[in-house]
Structure 1
């Protein structure tokens, strides 16, 4: 058992290192005063797609992260506490088969705390990946936001906007606006960070609930909560277009990015569906053996309420 504890300790350290590594880019992009290079993309003088007025965000960053992080964490906590209490009352195992809730020196982690730490860490791993991918993409692509002209206020008198019969593509320009932060952000349109984060958080929550909420007495509670979560993500995405913060393609790209990361994390990094599939296979194999030994027997398909 000591060897198993030591091995578990090593795996915990590796997982912690992986989480730190994906968190580093997200932290670097949010250090005040640290200016990371952004690709200086040019523009056509009469580009109407860059001529929208600046508006405050309908869904601010504070609201985005408060709801996007807070709602999944609250529902994960309530779900695991409910399942834990139910299974204790039924005198059944809470942890999935094959779980090993020990760490260094064979220290036993309480089952409920073990599950909570596992799902929360997996959620934040995917969130950090999402932040890192969209932040790096923004700076490398450098697409201009729809309100670019309003914020940058380039000096059009310093260059000729036409070159013969064609509009001139301006690459050498200087912004005369007085808000340096907004000018910097006006060069970071693709992909939409709000779309990526909201879709990731709400889709992860939806997939988590699909796996863990197994009440047999209600048919619509889980779909209702899932619908509300996805509706929040959709509203956030649409608001980025109506607020002139992003082009529609920026929002679409961010949403696809968040969705892909949520699915990959849920399937690849968590045990939400791996344990479910293995448990179903084990039940099927047991049933086949039982039926072979008792060909005339019948079995009730009654569910116990939780997986």
Structure 2
């Protein structure tokens, strides 16, 4: 029965991840963003197009590799220290405890990453905010005979730009998916090693690693502004979404209480003082 439950758990994990990932894939492949209009005098849309420093593939690869290496090393060390969950049997095969714990943590991290990406990308397609390089990429020609353009807000126009991929992407500014994923990974890492990456060495080493992860996510967000891919508000909301998902996933899905997280809010039991000997 224990083996059956373990296989059933893995099967359910795969199904759940597929259910979250498929809508995200469908959104990226087949959805059309909302066609938002523009004002001719909007200076925030007149920045030149620049090649982005950090592509989606590079960010995703680095983020997942960084998280997988961190979790695997941490769980291996914990297992050697006798803090692991013990060995597991899967179809008659002995699985080390640190392998199982790594699988659980990586799976939960992946689930949270898929959820936050689905959240931000669905918002992109629903809102359709124009990127700062809109004029440079689209080179719009307005239909001034349309009554929809009479008030100065141009809703009927044609793009004369030649790069179809950039034209399709120019309406996906809000919020920043790069910033959301980078901050999600950084906050998840910070909380993970804070709870499970304990050792007897310098505490500043652990906190320096946490600060470096946070600084890396901060840089990713700032690069999206300097690359003219996002407005600052897009990045700010992306940071907020990523942080929120990391906290919720870590606290309520990974559930760090079982790893011995100190509960400082609980009141300690008062020490019992010895009762005085009664004088006769």
Q: TM-score, normalised by structure 2?
A: 0.87
Superposition pairs for residues 52-201 of structure 1, below 5 Å?
Answer: 52-85=47-80, 87=81, 92-95=82-85, 101-102=88-89, 108-156=94-142, 158-159=143-144, 168-201=152-185
Give the whole-Å Cα distance in 1 for the aligned partners of 2:7 and 2:93: 10
| 1:288 CA drift (Å) | 6.5
1:21 equivalent in alignment to 2:19: yes
Q: Does the Cα contact within 8 Å between 1:211 and 1:273 map onto a contact in 2?
A: no
Of the three residues 25, 30, 35, the one matched with 1:35 is 30
SS at match of 1:174: strand
Give the whole-Å Cα distance in 2 for the aligned partners of 1:106 and 1:10: 15
| 1:244 CA drift (Å) | 1.2
Gap regions ≥5 residues in structure 2: 276-280
Gap regions ≥5 residues in structure 1: 297-307
| 1:60 CA drift (Å) | 2.4
Q: Does the Cα contact within 8 Å between 2:148 and 2:155 map onto a contact in 1?
A: no
Aligned to 2:278: none
Q: Does the Cα contact within 8 Å between 1:45 and 1:161 map onto a contact in 2?
A: no
Deviations 1:30-68 (A, max 9, x none): 5xxx33121111111111111111111122223312322
Aligned to 1:299: none
| 1:24 CA drift (Å) | 1.1
Aligned to 1:225: 209
Distance change >3 Å, CA 93–CA 243, structure 1 → 2: closer
* Runs of 4+ residues deviating >4 angstroms: 105-108, 160-164
SS at match of 2:106: helix
Q: CA RMSD in A?
A: 3.0
Distance change >3 Å, CA 78–CA 11, structure 1 → 2: closer
Give the whole-Å Cα distance in 2 for the aligned partners of 1:163 and 1:119: 52
Q: Does the Cα contact within 8 Å between 1:57 and 1:240 map onto a contact in 2?
A: yes
Of the three residues 176, 195, 203, the one matched with 2:187 is 203
Give the whole-Å Cα distance in 1 for the aligned partners of 2:19 and 2:148: 48
Q: Does the Cα contact within 8 Å between 1:26 and 1:132 map onto a contact in 2?
A: yes
| 1:174 CA drift (Å) | 1.1
Count of aligned residue pairs for this structure pair: 273
Distance change >3 Å, CA 151–CA 265, structure 1 → 2: same
Q: TM-score, normalised by structure 1?
A: 0.79
Distance change >3 Å, CA 159–CA 228, structure 1 → 2: same
Give the whole-Å Cα distance in 2 for the aligned partners of 1:232 and 1:168: 41
